[in-house]
Structure 1
């Protein structure tokens, strides 16, 4: 049953990668916490680590299939990508240095604040202009690269929940914002995944097949469901009205927030 669920959730991560630029982070973290619940408190750390590996593969496949005119918006953004990678490295190291509950609660708090921000401030659901302002250059200042990378890898979210709203508020439609989030996620997740694969943890022996603190078995099953979906949808992308696309993004975040928060609240007796 766990194998089937992980493959089916992998299909959802493929959908989220193409439609929302998530790379799988927001979907895989709660699922892996559930799948590796026998690890106890360590499940949160394993979930973040495994999510990083899943995001590397998903984001790489999605980026390779993204039309060149869209990727051209990131031309000459080498410094931003380098800082995202540096932040990803630092965030992964920080995740290893704190109790797993810190990353799990940080995940919940960050997603909740993001949802409130998207609902309250104009520019995401209610665009302030009908014409795109500029591309990724002004939407994501280079100085934000390291902070975005650090927070994303520390929480296991991949960065899309920060980069997509920024790109959206710069005037880009949801489809393009989600597509650009994949190469940005790739820059963050590669160094983070390397750190987690090389890490050692004494409480992860119950994982399906642990390499470092990555549950490689769970990651493989998730990717088995995700990669075919990414390839198909990138070749034949669905046509979704922009406003519906934006509202669906918010709704998915709300579902993921509930999936992570409820077990934490139950565990702490809140």
Structure 2
């Protein structure tokens, strides 16, 4: 049976096997697209704007942690930035996987703007539809010859990632103020998880808890998830947001966090111990 993507799916669609109908990729549970618009594991749509040039924890579980770096522009008529997800860091076991959109001025979809690395080593993926790369349990396949991939770690997760620009039409409709020197290339993402625990947290992760009750106003025109501070991390590869659950497969997680050029904050604990890099525990 041949299907046609709905007009509302500029980023592509997938066939839902239960209904046998095409569904926009950005309308499925686990989607993180646009400004950024989330579809939670509970099916509820919400927005989390974060802050430009900052990093936020999307998912944090005992052996899986996903951070996102937000880029954006200040809207002087509002009290927030316009933001988009420029890159993500995925921590699992003792591995670090990076997916990012390269900065570009004028968009040309025939030019690949994906940046990929595993444990600090660049991943070079042939620019052919269906090209596949595998190493250390990670599999990456190109859905199209450029800018569109599927990343999978068996038994843990599957992620679709597509690099997309802010078009002149998008900028005009939403008043983004995008200029020709930077089209704010960013990622449209789709997450599917296979082994989350009941303690999972993070902006998106918490929505997969069995008894999760959404705290957004679902009746609002733009339901917004707040709590930016509790999800913020000190760097893209740091699982140190206040709701972090990540331990990895190492008891003390010594090899997971990249500490180069990381300015550790100064904290004071109720025990009286303080100083740079101190972690308070209760």
TM-score by length of 1: 0.29
Greater strand content: 2
TM-score by length of 2: 0.28
Q: Which has the higher contact order (CA 8 A, sep 6+)?
A: 1
Bigger Rg, which one: 2
Greater helix content: 1
